[in-house]
Amino acid sequence: MYFCTNMRIDIITVIPELLDGPLNHSIVKRACDKGLVEIHIHNLRDFSKDKHHRVDDYPFGGEAGMVMTIAPIENAIQTLQSERKYDEIIYTAPDGKKYDQKVANRLSTLTNIIILCGHYKGIDQRIRDHLITMELSIGDYVLSGGELAAAVISDSIIRLLPGAISDETSALSDSFQDDLLSPPVYTRPADYKGWKVPDILLSGHAAKIDEWKHNEAIRKTERLRPDLLGED
């Protein structure tokens, strides 16, 4: 748990340990240490009234697998909502809206967010119908649980907060910020075994360098992700 001031992210999960590593290092940890964001991880089993702290049950209809039950999730969300107002209650699911930089940009402007990590076969649909405000998927594949997706979403949001990155302009030039992939980057030495940095980057001519970067970003996007340009 981190005690900070600006943004707050509450993550509800059945396996809190999966989030310890991703959210306790690098930019995320520094942002928390600076007071830019606070992250609270809640074990869903703590909100179960079952004597064995169960949070799942068999699905109606005979399908294989287990389903996360309503009561513990509702208890968790209502407990958090009794303390503050939340801008979004997000559920991580493979059939949710595809997560992208535009969504990350919008979420980074919010104050309080809940992320419910899916697990097992998923959650009872009534939770999605009545409690969830946004459903997000980080890709067209299935994970063992939504914890990794929650970590990805949290990291992508937090790095956009003012002050999270030392050079704030760095985030603005990331891939996808302007629907383009970022251009190639180089560092010293300028010549390594005959592998040379493009001369324009050594010219010191800022306007020409910016033009080169933009053109390279377009070329790279056309080659690797033409879908971002609306091309087949």
Residue 64 has pLDDT above 80, yes or no: yes
Task: Give me the pLDDT at residue 20, please.
Answer: 87
Residue 169 has pLDDT above 90, yes or no: no
* Secondary structure of residue 68 in the 3-state scheme: strand
CATH C-level class of 173-229: mainly alpha
Mean pLDDT computed over 19-39: 93
- State which fold the 7-158 domain adopts: Alpha/beta knot (3.40.1280)
Nearest residue to 27 via CA among 136, 147, 168: 168
Confidence class for position 173, pLDDT limits 50, 70, 90: low
| Average pLDDT of every residue of the chain | 91
Look at 172 and 116; give whichever has higher pLDDT: 116
Task: Give me the pLDDT at residue 232, please.
Answer: 56
- Would you list the domain boundaries of the chain? 7-158, 173-229
pTM equals 0.86
Residue 63 has pLDDT above 90, yes or no: no
Confidence class for position 176, pLDDT limits 50, 70, 90: low
Residue 175 has pLDDT above 60, yes or no: no
* Residues in CB range of 129: below 8 A, 6 or more apart: none
* Residues in CB range of 19: below 8 A, 6 or more apart: 11, 13, 41, 147, 150, 151
The proportion of the chain whose per-residue pLDDT surpasses 90, expressed as a percent, equals 81
Rg (CA), the chain: 21
Task: Give me the pLDDT at residue 2, please.
Answer: 38
SS (HEC) of 112-139: EEEEEECECCCECHHHHHHCCCEEEECC
Mean pLDDT computed over 36-55: 96
| DSSP code for 229 | G
- The predicted-structure confidence for 108-118, as pLDDT tens digits, reads as follows 999 999 999 99
Mean pLDDT computed over 85-99: 96
